[in-house]
Amino acid sequence: MSGIGRELYGLSRSDWQHLTGTFTFGGGDSKAELDEIIRQSLALWAE
C-alpha cells in the first residue's frame, strides 16, 4: 500500500502518515487490526 502511494503518487512518508491518520474503521479488534496494518506500512516506507 505505501509503495503505491510513494511510487505512483509521489507521496512522502509524512504525506502517508497524514493520509493514514484520517483512516477510521470500527472499534475494538477491527480498529486494532487497521492500526497494525498502518504501522507495518510505515515500517515498509524506509525500504
Q: Which grid cell sits at 36?
A: 497494525
Contact 1, 41 (CB under 8 A): yes
pLDDT in tens, 1-41: 657 777 888 888 899 889 888 887 777 888 888 889 888 98
What is residue 47's predicted lDDT score, i.e. its pLDDT?
58
What are the boundaries of each domain within the chain? 2-45
pTM reported for the whole predicted model = 0.66
Alpha helices by DSSP H, listed for the chain, are: 2-7, 13-21, 28-45
CB atoms within 10 A of CB 45: 15
What is residue 2's predicted lDDT score, i.e. its pLDDT?
58
Residues, the chain, total?
Answer: 47
**End-to-end CA gap in the chain:** 13
